[in-house]
Amino acid sequence: MEFFVQQSVLDADVKIVFAKITGIDNRENEEWFGFRKKKIEELYQKYKDLNVKEDRILEGYNLLHDHTGVKRRKNVPASENLIKLLIKRADVAFINTAVDIYNLISIESKLALGAHDIDKTDGNVTLRFTNGDENFIPLGKEGAQPINEHEYSYIDDANDVLCRLEIRQVLKTLVTEDSKNVWYIVQGNEFTSQEYLIETAKRIIDLTTKYCGGIGEVILPKVIE
């Protein structure tokens, strides 16, 4: 598996790093539950009075949407949505350990993160602008949904959209308790440095391998036209 990014996407101020972890055990982990309780309390205290509109990193994703013609109202960036839910509920919904880890790191870093099952991904992954003919079946939908042209998305060699913008992931590559090999999106914007993305990718690897095992690596995508 290789990772690619279209130069025009980078020109739009999307910053991207990938990570990959193989050989994980994603069953529930009591040690992780102890850590997550303290981390959620810490993050809630950090963000409970946050005005998301005044945060540069969070606003940076909305600016990306503006630059690429995506409407703000229906397209709340993933990390902003997670922080809003944390503020509202003082908690984060648990799905499985690997997903829980990257959700908390997304809140902590404010970066848009995503996890996908390697064994359900067809070939390579390319971050590029859509043509409008891609296959897109988002989570929560039973059939294919229309995809607009010129939306930066993560697409595999089967022409399946695996993540639309940094917002909607899909059923195809959903990470479950049975997942053994996972690749991660670590996406930033004009207000995040490449170093910060790499640091966050390493954080995902460190926490995941600590609580789920496995071997991880940070991957810089190849740039294509």
User: Does residue 73 register a pLDDT over 80?
Assistant: no
Q: What is the mean pLDDT of the chain?
A: 95
Looking at residue 72, what is its pLDDT? Answer: 83
Q: What percent of the chain lies above the pLDDT cut of 90?
A: 88
Residue whose pair of structure tokens reads 């205290």 in the numeric block: 45
Average pLDDT over residues 181-200: 97
Average pLDDT over residues 189-215: 97
Q: What percent of the chain lies above the pLDDT cut of 70?
A: 100
Please name the residues in contact with 199: beta carbons below 8 A apart, sequence gap of 6 or more: none
The predicted-structure confidence for 118-171, as pLDDT tens digits, reads as follows 999 999 999 999 999 999 999 888 888 999 999 999 999 999 999 999 999 999
Model confidence at 52, pLDDT cuts 50, 70, 90, reads confident
Which DSSP symbol is given to 36?
Answer: H
CA distance 207 to 107: 14
The predicted-structure confidence for 11-24, as pLDDT tens digits, reads as follows 999 999 999 999 99
User: Does residue 179 register a pLDDT over 80?
Assistant: yes
Report the relative pairing of strands 168-169 and 152-156 from DSSP bridges.
Answer: unpaired
Q: How many degrees, rounded to 5, is the angle at CA 204 between CA 198 and CA 205?
A: 90
Average pLDDT over residues 172-199: 97
Model confidence at 55, pLDDT cuts 50, 70, 90, reads very high
Query: Would you say 19 and 105 are in contact if contact means Cβ atoms under 8 Å apart?
Result: no
Q: What is the dihedral of CA 171, 173, 177, 180, to 10 degrees?
A: 170
Average pLDDT over residues 37-50: 95
